[in-house]
């Protein structure tokens, strides 16, 4: 099988070559994202692998189909950059990748702790040479009632970690995880908004939950809520979040994902940073990081291994549990 990979991060090329060779694939590496501008490069390749910076809309997917591509692999768990329904209609088979998600869970807890202890403003003051501590007081993590919105693998790992710190946990998921009932209580979203000191978001993004966190939901929250989002930026209405922060309804936010991030992620933003994102970055009670919660030492290798294994399953005509239907 001939495989072409786009959006390849510098330093990961050797792993792509290694795993392609392991399965007997002939590979080509492109650091640029896949788009209508370069889709012709896929001519003669049976498979394409991409990451989130490649936007595979119907036009790009039609190009892949036209040039003979049969398989598309997303080198990530998230795949909202691919129009999966359009891919199916065009006869393309699509799957995502898996990796150890404990790094995302750890990072979520890190952001929560930083927000609880006002670490963003503390570091800003230190950079200015300001050693005063007025206004920097925080709370102990064990004092918090934390709401976990989405209790899949990542949300469950966050819940277990926070339970170890002594937090009281309230949980929300349409499919409750029975193993978490020993450490937390499932409730409706409104109950989490009204009762929790902090919310951690771990839901996949769908059309239905776009702007889950909005003016209406923020109005229901306890005064001084802390919000942590390591899931998808589209879950949070950024303008509503800023209004909540300015009013004091939301005390702090830790964001590894945010609306419009595809304009800036993996690039030097400078003047190109969207205005709303810049306001979040400059807000004294917001910590913004560049979508790195997943980025542990071995994660890139793991997603590449998973991607090539999926292509081998496709090639052999075997069942692929990661195929997106």
CATH number at residue 36: 3.40.50.720
Mean pLDDT of the chain: 95
pLDDT at residue 263 in the model = 81
DSSP 71-118: EEEESSS--TTB-HHHHHHTT-EEE-----THHHHHHHHHHHHHHHTT
pLDDT at site 139: 93
The question of whether 291 is a catalytic residue gets the answer yes
Which helix (H) or strand (E) segment holds residue 186: the answer is: strand 185-186
Q: How many CB atoms lie within 10 A of CB 252?
A: 27
Would the pLDDT of 298 be above 90?
no
What is the reported pLDDT for 270? 59
Question: Domain of 212?
Answer: 102-288
Judge if 168 and 63 occupy the same domain: no
Residues 93, 222: one domain? no
- 198 and 249 in a single domain? The answer is yes
pLDDT at residue number 65: 98
What is the predicted pLDDT for the residue at 271? 58
**128 lies in the same domain as 192:** yes
Sorting pLDDT into bands at 50, 70 and 90, what band is 297? confident
In this prediction, residues 165-192 reach a mean pLDDT of 98
Helix (H) or strand (E) segment spanning residue 219: helix 215-219
- Give mean pLDDT, residues 146-165: 98
- Residue pLDDT, tens place only, 28-68: 999 999 999 999 999 999 999 999 889 999 999 999 999 99
Is 319 one of the annotated active-site residues of the chain?
A: no
* Structural domain includes residue 321: no
Catalytic residue from among 75, 93, 125, 291:
291
Whether residue 324 lies inside any domain: the answer is no
Q: 156 and 74 in one domain?
A: no
Q: Is residue 129 part of a domain?
A: yes
Domain presence at residue 95: yes
Of 207 and 112, more confident: 112
- The percentage of residues in the chain with a pLDDT greater than 90, rounded to a whole number, is 88
**Residue 322: inside a domain:** no
Predicted confidence (pLDDT) at residue 269 exceeds the cutoff of 70? no
Residues 82 and 119 in one domain: no
In this prediction, residue 272 carries a pLDDT of 82
> Are 236 and 252 in the same domain?
yes
What was the pLDDT predicted at 151?
98
Classify residue 323: in a domain, yes or no.
Answer: no
Task: Specify whether 67 is located in the same domain as 170.
Answer: no
pLDDT band at 72 (very low <50, low <70, confident <90, very high): very high
Active-site option among 74, 234, 261, 300: 261
Quick: pLDDT tens for 211-246.
999 999 999 999 999 999 999 999 999 999 999 999
Which one from 75, 202, 232, 283 is the annotated catalytic residue?
A: 232
Please indicate, yes or no, whether residues 7 and 54 belong to a single structural domain of this protein.
yes
Q: Is residue 229 part of a domain?
A: yes
Mark whether 211 is an active-site residue: no
Position 154 pLDDT exceeds 90: yes
Residues 35 and 173 in one domain: no
Total domains in the chain come to: 2
User: Quick one: pLDDT at residue 101?
Assistant: 87
Residues 107, 73 within the same domain: no
Dist. CA 7–CA 62, nearest whole Å: 19
Of 206, 215, 207, the closest CA to residue 243 belongs to 215
My answer on whether 284 and 301 are in the same domain is no
258 is a domain residue: yes
The full DSSP string for 32-43 is: SPP-TTTGGGGT
């Amino acid at each position: 099988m001939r495989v072409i990979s786009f959006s390849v991060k510098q330093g990961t090329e050797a792993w792509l070559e290694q795993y392609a060779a392991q399965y007997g694939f002939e590979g080509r590496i492109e650091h640029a994202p896949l788009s209508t501008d370069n889709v012709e490069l896929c001519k003669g390749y049976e498979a394409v692998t991409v990451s989130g910076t490649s936007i595979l809309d119907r036009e790009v997917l039609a190009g892949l189909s036209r040039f003979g591509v049969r398989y598309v692999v997303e080198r990530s768990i998230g795949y909202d950059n691919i129009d999966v329904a359009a891919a199916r209609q065009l006869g393309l088979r699509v799957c995502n990748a898996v990796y150890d998600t404990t790094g995302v869970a750890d990072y979520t807890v890190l952001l929560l702790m930083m927000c609880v202890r006002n670490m963003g403003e503390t570091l800003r003051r230190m950079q200015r040479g300001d050693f005063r501590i007025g206004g920097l007081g925080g709370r102990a993590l064990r004092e918090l009632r934390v709401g976990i919105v989405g209790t899949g693998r990542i949300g469950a790992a966050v819940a277990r970690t926070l339970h170890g710190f002594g937090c009281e946990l309230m949980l929300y998921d349409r499919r409750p995880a029975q193993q978490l009932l020993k450490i937390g209580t499932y409730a409706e979203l409104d109950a989490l908004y009204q009762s929790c000191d902090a919310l951690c978001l771990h839901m996949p993004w769908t059309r239905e939950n776009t702007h889950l966190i909005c003016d209406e939901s923020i109005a229901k929250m306890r005064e001084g809520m802390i919000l942590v989002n390591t899931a998808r930026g589209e879950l949070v209405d950024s303008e509503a979040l800023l209004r909540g922060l300015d009013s004091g309804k939301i005390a702090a936010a830790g964001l590894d994902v945010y609306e419009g991030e595809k304009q800036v992620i993996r690039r030097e933003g400078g003047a190109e940073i969207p205005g709303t994102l810049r306001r979040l970055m400059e807000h004294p009670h917001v910590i913004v990081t560049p979508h790195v919660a997943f980025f542990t030492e071995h994660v890139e290798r793991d997603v590449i291994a998973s991607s090539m294994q999926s292509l081998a399953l496709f090639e052999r005509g075997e069942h692929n549990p990661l195929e997106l239907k």
